[in-house]
């Protein structure tokens, strides 16, 4: 793969992908680039803020309200779990329980507590409960990423 960079004044950041034929690697590359640009508009006490999908650790539904968690902050989000899941499933946001969607980019490890819950450990050492039912979806997301 050849990487070319050039500065062009007065234009937004533009990425051009040239490929001989569309294949899985190209698809993964385009998705990864797209992920860097996707963001959600969330709210906190100071007003609205744009949060890049890369900064999102997980999204939680608490009493029918959505909250998005970054490394150290929490914001309110409009929409529903299903909306977010369908918009961002290809981009690494995967449902891990009925009330939680996790960004696999920040996943450090999945732990199986003997005869008990499954636990996702994030790279900020926060722990999330993973429902067995959704373990297959996390696996699929990693397969799709082709890491």
Interface with another protein (CB under 8 A): 97-98, 107-113, 115-118, 129, 131-133, 135-136, 138-139, 142, 145, 147
Give the nearest distance from C-beta 21 to another protein in angstroms.
Answer: 26
Give the nearest distance from C-beta 110 to another protein in angstroms.
Answer: 5
Which of residues 71 and 139 has its CB atom nearest to another protein in the complex? 139
Beta bridge partners of 65: 62
Helix H segments across the chain?
Answer: 24-37, 81-88, 135-145
Give the nearest distance from C-beta 53 to another protein in angstroms.
Answer: 17
**Cβ 87 vs Cβ 59: under 8 Å:** no
Which of residues 71 and 108 has its CB atom nearest to another protein in the complex? 108
Residues belonging to the chain: 147
Which of residues 40 and 103 has its CB atom nearest to another protein in the complex? 103
What whole-number distance in Å separates Cα of residue 121 and Cα of residue 17?
A: 34
Which of residues 46 and 63 has its CB atom nearest to another protein in the complex? 63
Half-sphere exposure of 132 (CA within 13 A, CB side): 5
Give the list of residues 6+ apart from residue 4 with CB closer than 8 angstroms, or none.
none
Give the nearest distance from C-beta 91 to another protein in angstroms.
Answer: 15
């Amino acid at each position: 793969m050849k990487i070319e960079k050039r500065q062009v004044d007065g234009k937004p950041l533009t990425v051009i992908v040239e490929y001989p034929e569309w294949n899985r690697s190209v698809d993964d590359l385009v998705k990864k680039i797209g992920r860097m640009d996707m963001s959600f508009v969330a709210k906190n006490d100071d007003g609205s803020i744009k949060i890049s999908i890369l900064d999102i650790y997980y999204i939680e539904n608490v009493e029918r309200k959505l909250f998005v968690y970054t490394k150290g902050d929490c914001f309110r989000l409009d929409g529903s779990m299903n909306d977010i899941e369908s918009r961002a499933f290809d981009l690494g946001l995967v449902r891990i329980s009925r009330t939680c969607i996790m960004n696999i980019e920040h996943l450090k490890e999945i732990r199986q507590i003997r005869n008990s819950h499954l636990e996702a450990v994030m790279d900020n050492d926060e722990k999330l409960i993973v429902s067995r039912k959704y373990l297959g979806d996390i696996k699929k997301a990693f397969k799709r990423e082709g890491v």
